[in-house]
Amino acid sequence: MSTQPRTERSNQQMERIRHGAGFIAALDQSGGSTPRALKAYGIEPNAWSSEEEMFDLVHAMRTRVMTSPAFTSERILAAILFERTLDSEVDARPTADYLWDVKGIVPFLKVDKGLAEEAHGARTMKPIPDLEDTLAKAVNKHVFGTKMRSVILHADTQGVAAVVDQQFEIANQILDAGLTPIIEPEVDIHAPDKTGIELLLLASLNAHLDDLPDGRDVVLKLTIPSVTDFYHALMRHPRVARVAALSGGYTRAEANRRLARNRGLIASFSRALLEGLDASQTQAEFDAALEASIAEVYRASTT
């Protein structure tokens, strides 16, 4: 397995991901989740008449977030972008360059294309066509890493194995391209056997991490565990750069409460981070709401 050499820029970014105080902002809503994100922001579906207009609206929302004085590297380590966001500009700069050069925030790119149908209590990722080309583009646009999401619904050994096997198979392609993958095997917060799923998941993750050679490090994005500090030992694995948590459908207050109980676990919130923002807010109102949200998530991520 070959890995592209790291640049001084990517070494600085890895240092922030490994050791920085703060959290990851997930600004990567796509496909079916975009209308929901816009509705939560106060923009109804009748506000656009084409997919292009819809994505222009969501890019404007993300731009408003990224350019806000509340959105800084003092509390935010990284941001996960949707591919259309990567291809767009913020303040006349390519988005990834704006994040790092202006804000000091590490850019990641969502690369998965959604979920396959459920099998064995899990939903693996759909095939990712042209992944090699997407990774090459990400490198050229100065992206540090990628993110990809699967979902586990039941404590089925075969389903958990399918999810983790696929995640690490693709992660190795991403590492070969010189990028750092965020591996996201989400556990459904409503699963009746959530604790059982997490036991299976932890064993599978450790087995795959043990197989990674030196220098091929990953970020894990996991559902906040049912058992406090359940992933604490995982954070010390030499191949784990950081362990982040998704909000998974919890309100921001509940997600933060659960997150704060888990030492070393940082947030990687999307919907929960943007909760309370509205297109009708004045810029001052918007900045104040975002400031309050970021402050809450930061406190929970640094407890």
Residues with a known catalytic role = 184, 221
User: What residue spans of 71-130 are helical by DSSP H?
Assistant: 83-86, 95-97
How is 283-296 classified by DSSP, letter by letter?
HHHHHHHHHHHHHH
| C-alpha span between 266 and 247 (Å, rounded) | 11
User: What residue spans of the chain are helical by DSSP H?
Assistant: 8-19, 33-40, 51-67, 83-86, 95-97, 131-140, 157-176, 194-211, 252-260, 271-274, 283-301
Which strand (E) or helix (H) includes residue 245? strand 240-246
The two tokens of residue 169 are 């198979």
DSSP state of 125: B
The two tokens of residue 121 are 């209590």
